[in-house]
Amino acid sequence: MLPDIGEGIVECEVVTWHVAEGDTVEEDQTIVDVMTDKALVEITASEPGRIVRFHYAQGENARVHTPLYAYVPDEEAEAESAESTESGVTAPERKQAQPEYLSENRQEGDGKSDNRSGQDGRHGESRPRIPATPAVRRLLREHQLDIQAIAGSGRNGRVLKEDVLAYLKQSETRETDVTPDDAHKVGAAAETDKAAAEACAVASDVVSDEVRSSRLEAKAVPLKGVAAVMARRMVQASTQIPHFHYGDELDITDLLALRARLKVRAEQQGIRLTLMPFIMKAMALAVIEEPILNARLSEDESEILYQGACNIGMAVDSASGLMVPNVKGVERLSILEIAREVGRLTEAARSGRVAPADLKGGTLSISNIGALGGTYAAPIINQPEVAIVALGRTQRLPRFDGEGNVCARDIMTITWAGDHRIIDGGTIARFSNLWKHYLEHPDEMLLSLS
């Protein structure tokens, strides 16, 4: 059954089946990826068994609480196999004798009945179950390893991540021990590959004109998943919210120097320290002085709802579309804690596997468009928030110092968009000036940290 994923989602797109009909699967093994309106979600096996049938093909929309796939648990598969052997009836014959059993139960939505139907007679040998976490089993699948081949060092023989990594390291060591005969074979293979490459080069010259002429093709691609939600929400926000924009520039020369000094220490803890944690922390401190930037308008537009935590979102250009995961409670976190969350959310968003909880509850948003290029942008507010800032590209530009001398400074342009229903120009200017002051004088920002 497709479980209730929450957020009021009633259907999901089936993106990728990771197994085939007839495959034997382990508990917690990833069966299928489904795309909701907000993120890619993994559906895993609840118990060991054998996949019998898929009820949806890739690209189709599956509704919540309807059968997603049929499977036979290990115990039942073994019992039915033994029964068919004793009676002299093979599993394919049994399937032909009950042709409507699976479809009848699919219409009724009885997932357990599905599990007992449609056998194709294939099953794996019974093996003792070796304990391991889903993450370890995923690592084993990625490297196409059999868990039986790895000695578990955990309690009750549990296979740990360290066991898998040690096994992979030993395998690499064995592969590097090449005998003279092996070296001769490798050399011959290299000559063969070189000849094949030359032949491909000649062939590519012949078809290059044909390839160039076929780079563009007319086609219609359905708008669905995250892209469809983004399209709908952008239209809704741009038409319902009266946007106004406020631009400025930040001198982040001193901030870059501070980050450079702290970067090594962060790397020692396995954290990649960018400018984003400083930008978020300064924003949370400025919110304390101007809390209306952290508010939202009620649905009937009769109240301003001030939020009790500063959850700052960051727009991420993922493969499946624009996502805005947010760091929760930035006002309570240290710079390193924010950096760790930024790294986690960025990686999750780019892989399309953001948890629904990371996508909801945002109170302010940042669009770091300057990381890709561009100096200015006019961002659209992430409703129901009331403000968003776009960060431009950092440039080394000439500026006058206090004594009138020209010097090189690192300048970042920023553009705010505010909801003019509850924010006026003076409010966002005061907020932006305080935020700017913290970023241009990071030593003073330290004095404001609680």
Q: What pLDDT does residue 29 have? A: 87
pLDDT value of residue 107: 34
CA distances in angstroms from 435 to 15, 49, 334, 384, 450, listed in the order given:
42, 56, 17, 22, 16
Of residues 88 and 377, more confidence is placed in 377
d(CA 103, CA 145): 36
Encode pLDDT of 299-314 as tens digits: 999 999 999 999 999 9
Q: pLDDT, tens digit, for every residue of 408-429? A: 999 999 999 999 999 999 999 9
What three-state secondary structure class fits 269?
Answer: coil
d(CA 383, CA 361): 11
Least confident of 187-196, 263-272, 281-290, 313-322: 187-196
Confidence class of residue 91 from pLDDT cuts 50, 70 and 90?
very low
Instruction: Give yes or no for a contact between 364 and 385, defined as CB atoms under 8 angstroms apart.
Output: yes
pLDDT given at position 60: 85
- Percentage of the chain beyond pLDDT 90 is 41
- Neighbour-count burial for 128-154, b at 16+ CB within 10 Å, e otherwise: eebebeeebbebbeeeebebeebebeb
Q: What is the pLDDT of residue 193?
A: 56
More confident call, 246 vs 146: 246
Output the DSSP codes for 298-315.
-TTSS-EEE-SS--EEE-
Strands 69-73 and 49-54 come out as antiparallel
pLDDT, tens only, 276-297: 999 999 999 999 999 999 999 9
pLDDT in tens, 4-30: 555 556 678 888 899 998 898 888 888
Contact predicate 266/272, CB 8 Å: yes
* Dihedral (Cα; 335, 341, 345, 348), 10-degree rounding: 140
What is the model's pLDDT at position 335? 95
284 — phi, psi (to 5°)?
-65, -35
Confidence of residue 188 (pLDDT cuts 50, 70, 90): low
d(Cα 145, Cα 140) in Å, to the nearest integer? Answer: 5
**Catalytic residue annotation:** 420, 424
Least confident among 112-126, 267-281, 326-340: 112-126
Length, in residues, of the chain? 450
Name the pTM for this structure: 0.63
Half-sphere exposure of 377 (CA within 13 A, CB side): 20
157 or 340, higher pLDDT: 340
Q: Is 267 exposed, middle or buried (0-12, 13-18, 19+ CB in 10 A)?
A: exposed
Average pLDDT on 133-156 reads 80
Mean per-residue pLDDT over the chain, rounded: 79
Q: Is the pLDDT confidence value at 391 over 90?
A: yes
* Torsions phi, psi for 283 (to 5 deg): -65, -45
Is a pLDDT exceeding 70 seen at residue 33? Answer: yes
User: For residue range 210-238, what is the model confidence (pLDDT) as tens digits?
Assistant: 555 567 889 998 887 777 878 888 999 99
Q: What confidence score (pLDDT) does residue 112 get?
A: 39
Contact 36, 5 (CB under 8 A): yes
The residue that leads in pLDDT, 295 or 201, is 295
φ, ψ (nearest 5 deg) of residue 417: -120, 130
Distance CA 230, CA 236 (A): 10
Q: Model confidence over 119-129: pLDDT tens digits?
A: 444 344 445 66
